[in-house]
Amino acid sequence: MSDEIVVPRIGPTDRLVELPAHRLVDAVTGAAPRLATALRIAARGDVLLVRFDARHRGIVATLRETNAPLWTEDVVEAFLSAEDPPRRYVELEVNPLGARFSARVDSPEGTRKGMSVATFECPGFSAGVKRGERRWSALLRVPASAFGGESIPETFRANFFRIDRATSEFSALFPTRADPPDFHVGSAFGRFRVADGTGLE
């Protein structure tokens, strides 16, 4: 995978699903996971769009409350930081029932050592979820304010994850190589650049 991922700016009628997909890999080994997850990312105005399309063999999800511990069941997650290195970032999660979780993470060493997590209501953060017999998808709409500004930063650090409890599988866009699986590894965050003129034709 490239050292930098270009995030295209798309227009109001462009469809995110038509963009090329990035594939999540096993979070520990970097190998292909048993269950495929496709990730698509784009910017539309002052909103970052993040779409997960995930194969499943049975959904494990009961939590419906905002900021419930969604990571204990099936979930997709986005870790986003305007900082480089990413010592402070937001953690946004959505489960197959459409429940949302949002937290600010302060990680002075880029690991769980000394890390603090504070949940908050993220204004403008929304998600749409669809479930099928073998696939579920989530479209996250992340406002620029989640990055601490009025517009999506031109460059940012991020990583994207999925937990599937039926198979005990942990997937990531950039593997953290931590065993047991640990998503809070700042050094594994990728670099992203928002670019004009790379939307759909």
Q: Give the pLDDT confidence of 82-99 residue by residue, as tens digits.
A: 999 999 999 999 999 999
Q: Number of folded domains in the chain?
A: 1
Angle (CA) 21 95 195, round 5°: 35
Confirm whether 43 is domain-assigned: yes
Share of the chain above pLDDT 70, in %: 97
Residue 64 falls inside a structural domain: no
Between the CA of residue 94 and those of 63, 65, 161, what are the distances in Å? 10, 11, 11
Q: Is 188 inside any structural domain?
A: yes
- Indicate the DSSP class of residue 32: P
Prediction pTM value = 0.95
Q: Identify the pLDDT of residue 1.
A: 52
Q: Would you say residue 158 lies in a domain? A: yes
- Kindly state the DSSP code that residue 120 receives in the 8-state scheme: -
> What is the span of the domain harbouring residue 145?
24-56+70-195
Asked whether residue 2 is domain-assigned, the answer is no
pLDDT range class, residue 196, cuts 50, 70, 90: confident
- Look at residue 143 in the predicted model and tell me its pLDDT: 97
- The CATH number linked to 123 is 2.60.40.1190
Confidence band for 198, pLDDT divided at 50, 70 and 90: low
Instruction: Classify residue 63: in a domain, yes or no.
Output: no
From residue 86, how far is each of 48, 60, 199 by CA, in Å? Answer: 18, 31, 27
On whether residue 16 sits in a domain, the answer given is: no
CA distance 48 to 71: 22
Q: Is residue 167 part of a domain?
A: yes
